[in-house]
């Protein structure tokens, strides 16, 4: 069953903690993305990766970090430097340049 | 100017009517255009892709693209309560890997 999985579905973080959100895909897609969505707003790009061992900053990369060691995996770390991390985080993948993106189910992060 | 702009909602339509959603984009070199549906609390789901001028139909959905006027639209025919969702327009500017998303238009289909 092909698709994109994200875990956990819900995550609670205390002030000052780093947390890592998981994203895995078995679609054999080269490109992967992380977005943030705040209530009533559109999607904002955090980071994206076109190929293994390479990634680029998106529009709101400050306070976040990523790695792309395997084609299937693109984890996102929300660091303590991110001042307002409470949001819905979406991972996506795409088969290639100028192609559609497919989204995982998302992780809802709440800072306590 | 935002890269992708959608008509502000919410849009309320009676069941069985046509819902019309519009989207304009600023990058004239854009080549790929997508419509996503997002139910409340869920992730976006791709419903239409369009790459060339004209109409593309898929079931009750029709996407229309006019590159000269820099707009893309989505028509939902015979609207059903299950179509109640937020619809996101996405544009691939200048054949890059990134997509630019509009803020979305919320559609409510009333019985």
Does the beta carbon of B104 lie under 8 angstroms from any beta carbon of chain A?
yes
pLDDT band at A7 (very low <50, low <70, confident <90, very high): very high
The secondary structure of B66-94 as a DSSP string is ETTTTEEEEEESS--GGG-EEEEEEEEGG
Question: Residue A39's pLDDT is what?
Answer: 85
Q: How much of chain B, in percent, has pLDDT values that exceed 70? A: 97
The predicted model gives A32-50 an average pLDDT of 93
Q: Which ranges in B4-105 belong to alpha helices (H)?
A: none
Q: Are B32 and B89 in contact (CB under 8 A)?
A: no
Both tokens assigned to A99: 């192609």
In the predicted model, is pLDDT for residue B87 greater than 90?
A: yes
Residue of A nearest to B6 (CA): A42
In the predicted model, is pLDDT for residue B1 greater than 90?
A: no
Report CA B91 to chain centroid distance, whole Å: 10
In the predicted model, is pLDDT for residue B95 greater than 90?
A: no
- Is the CB of A98 less than 8 angstroms away from the CB of B103? no
pLDDT band at B8 (very low <50, low <70, confident <90, very high): confident
Maximum Cα–Cα distance across chain A: 39
Q: What are the tens digits of pLDDT across the range B22-76?
A: 999 999 989 899 999 999 999 999 999 999 999 999 999 999 999 999 999 999 9
Q: Give Cβ neighbours of residue B104 (< 8 Å, ≥ 6 apart).
A: A42, B6, B9, B38, B86, B87, B88, B89
3-state secondary structure (DSSP) of residue A75:
coil
Both tokens assigned to B82: 């299950």
Whole-angstrom CA distances from A76 to A36, A94, B97 are 11, 17, 19
In the predicted model, is pLDDT for residue B17 greater than 80?
A: yes
- Is the CB of B102 less than 8 angstroms away from the CB of A48? no
- Per-chain mean pLDDT for chain B: 94
Q: What is the distance between the alpha carbons of residues A52 and A68, in angstroms, rounded to a whole number?
A: 5
Q: What are the tens digits of pLDDT across the range A42-99?
A: 899 999 999 999 999 999 999 999 999 999 999 999 998 888 999 999 999 999 877 8
- Judging by DSSP bridges, how do beta strands B11-14 and B105-110 pair with one another? parallel
Q: Pick the range with the lowest mean pLDDT from A6-10, A39-43, B58-62, B101-105.
A: A39-43
Q: Are B26 and B1 in contact (CB under 8 A)?
A: yes
Question: Residue A15's pLDDT is what?
Answer: 86
In the predicted model, is pLDDT for residue B97 greater than 80?
A: no
Do you know the residue count of chain B?
A: 111
Closest CA–CA distance from residue B69 to any residue of chain A (Å): 20
Peptide bond into A8 cis (omega under 30): yes
In the predicted model, is pLDDT for residue A2 greater than 70?
A: no
Smallest CA-to-CA distance from B87 within B3, B7, B31 is with B7
Q: What own/partner pairs with CB < 8 Å and gap ≥ 24 does B48-56 have?
A: B48/B74, B49/A100
Closest CA–CA distance from residue B68 to any residue of chain A (Å): 19
Question: Residue A16's pLDDT is what?
Answer: 87
């Amino acid at each position: 069953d092909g698709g994109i999985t994200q875990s956990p579905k819900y995550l609670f973080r205390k002030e000052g903690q780093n947390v890592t959100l998981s994203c895995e895909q078995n679609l054999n897609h080269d490109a992967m993305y992380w977005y943030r969505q705040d209530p009533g707003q559109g999607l904002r790009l955090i980071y994206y990766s076109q190929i293994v061992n390479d990634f680029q900053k998106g529009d709101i990369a400050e306070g976040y970090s990523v790695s792309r060691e395997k084609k299937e995996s693109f984890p996102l770390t929300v660091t303590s430097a991110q001042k307002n991390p409470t949001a819905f985080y979406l991972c996506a993948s795409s088969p290639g340049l100028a192609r559609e993106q497919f989204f995982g189910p998302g992780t809802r992060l709440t800072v306590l | 100017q935002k890269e992708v702009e959608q008509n502000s909602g919410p849009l309320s339509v009676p069941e069985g009517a046509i819902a019309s959603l519009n989207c304009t984009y600023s990058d004239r070199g854009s080549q790929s255009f997508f419509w996503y549906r997002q139910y409340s609390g869920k992730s976006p789901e791709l419903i239409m892709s369009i790459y060339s001028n004209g109409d593309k139909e898929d079931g009750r959905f029709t996407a229309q693209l006019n590159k000269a006027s820099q707009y893309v639209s989505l028509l939902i025919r015979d609207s059903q309560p299950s179509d109640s969702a937020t619809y996101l327009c996405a544009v691939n500017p200048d054949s890059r890997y990134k997509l630019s998303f509009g803020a979305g238009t919320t559609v409510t289909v009333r019985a």
